[in-house]
Chain A
């Protein structure tokens, strides 16, 4: 479970102070599929970065599974990211010089307890889950956008994280590919109980999730349960 209490994020330059988030209070229970919507620059990605421990709030408190992370050092934060959080980005963020299999193995590289053969085994299993077991030795440049995003999802789930944070995962894809990716995420949430927080601009995608939170100018303006819609998926 992720809890954000009175979160505020201010970007300060020599001349300008930009408030990206203010007074955000949000709880994401375990196993929930939450979507976040809002216009560009409203603070959605900043919020996702704070939830993913990639950024720290200017004020307020973040807790993950009841643990406040304010006092955690870089190494501890990295450990939590590695163990509990998986990331999916709009622009996939695959390493072009690594094969599909090596890209998926990446999070496991930072777990010293996992052997090389175990890494490969888990990566192959994750790729099978997203339907890409035939492409393990391909390089990202040899894949379509939808396939790249599926690789990114395989990479996010290979470490069996409790939470997946997806920043506009269908943003660069056409509607058919977008549907495919959305279905994979829904399956992950429904079948594996993975908590998913997804930032999206696509209302249709957002409506397929369990809960929709809207942001405007760094503030949370609505929080709606979409239980009925979610059940129909």
Chain B
């Protein structure tokens, strides 16, 4: 019977062309939207690699360009912050703190063999404790690094995989340009600071050495406070800092709030795309339903004939559902041929699993959609009285 259905649909390919085209485009849209959703959901399910609860970001903007004066105030501020009993740890950081809308990256190379782009996070030794990072190999920065021959650098797991593959990373010298060389001293587990939906990109941590770099100025400080610390402390802390850095613009935000804001950047287009896709699918479903109903009503004579030749009503029902599934299969065949190019050609540098999951999901959804659209018209076809159908013809 399946062969018969394929033959029937193939012989009617001209009249079914538009329907097959509609299914093809519907599949492509679904595939695109599902790829986007699967990509983000997969990223969301991966660990961030740090704990952002009870972490605040203090931003300080000095009113003058005087480096020496600003630097002095900056150091006074962090010393004062660390003395608060409510503060567990504090660390200066580059402006690309977790969930911030700013990025900093550079091009790293390992000998002449390989080079990659990676996010760069300039941090102090206490950053590990502030963000509760998990160092899986080697060590984090320490005061011993003040006397190190090469600048120490800690890389994340993704950096190790991209740059060194299965090779040991510890001790390797990597460089940014001809003069700046770093020695890998540790490897952290996951570190996805962009957002919860960000992919795990290569990242490195470089050390802020205030003793060595006397002109270094940082405007951002990450502070881990004790659980339960609230707005009262925030007000008190800001008041005291304002006393140290007069006329400085100060701002405090919790990483939790920043996480929510950053998540919206992905969630809003994802929801918007989902809604547009849903509306499109609804339109396709209505169109499909109408066309199927019309096609079936045009085939009353054939239905009567098949009933006369020995097809029970259930068989007619299954035949029409089967025909729609075969139609969907033709549309999907072209769609899958197109979609499968994405993982094969590594389009957008997205993992193949994302595309294959989206592809499978889109196929299942199309079959489900066409089956639902075919249920009622097929039931109507099965209910046609054979004598009446033959008489109408």
User: Could you tell me which A residues sit within 8 Å of B by CB distance?
Assistant: 45-46, 49, 52, 54-55, 74-75, 78-79, 81-83, 87, 89, 91, 93, 95, 97-98, 102, 106-107, 109-111, 116, 155, 159
Contact = CB atoms under 8 A, between A and B. Distances in A.
A107 B308 CA distance: 9
A228 B393 CA distance: 37
Given A97-B11, A116-B3, A107 B310 contact: yes
Contacts of A83: 310
Contact of A91 (B302, B308, B393): B393
7 contacts: A45-B391, A54-B387, A78-B311, A82-B310, A82-B311, A91-B393, A93-B308
Q: Which DSSP category, helix, strand, loop or mixed, fits chain A's interface?
A: helix
A81 B11 contact: no
Contacts of B305: 93, 95, 106
A123 to B, nearest CB: 13
A21 to B, nearest CB: 13
Contact of A78 (B3, B307, B391): B307
B78 interface: no
A110 B315 contact: yes
Nearest to B319: A109
Interface residues of B, number: 27
Contacts of B308: 52, 54, 81, 87, 93
Contacts of B315: 78, 110
B286 interface: no
Contacts of A55: 385-387
A102 B12 contact: no
A159 B308 CA distance: 13
A75 B3 contact: no
Give the most central of A55, A91, A93, A110: most B CB within 10 Å. A93
Nearest to B382: A74
A111 B301 CA distance: 21
Contact of B309 (A49, A82, A98, A116): A82
Interface of B: 1, 3-4, 7-8, 11-12, 301-302, 304-315, 385-387, 390-391, 393
Q: Which DSSP category, helix, strand, loop or mixed, fits chain B's interface?
A: helix
B11 A98 contact: yes
A87 B304 CA distance: 11
Contacts of A106: 305-306, 309
Contacts of A52: 308
Given A74-B312, A78-B307, A93 B391 contact: no
A102 B390 contact: no
A97 B313 CA distance: 21
Contacts of B387: 46, 49, 54-55
Contacts of A82: 309-311
A137 B368 CA distance: 35
B261 to A, nearest CB: 59
A87 B309 contact: yes
Contacts of B312: 74-75, 78-79
A79 B393 contact: no
Contacts of A102: 4, 7
Nearest to A106: B309
B297 to A, nearest CB: 16
Contacts of A109: 1, 4
Nearest to B313: A74
Nearest to A91: B393
B302 A107 contact: no
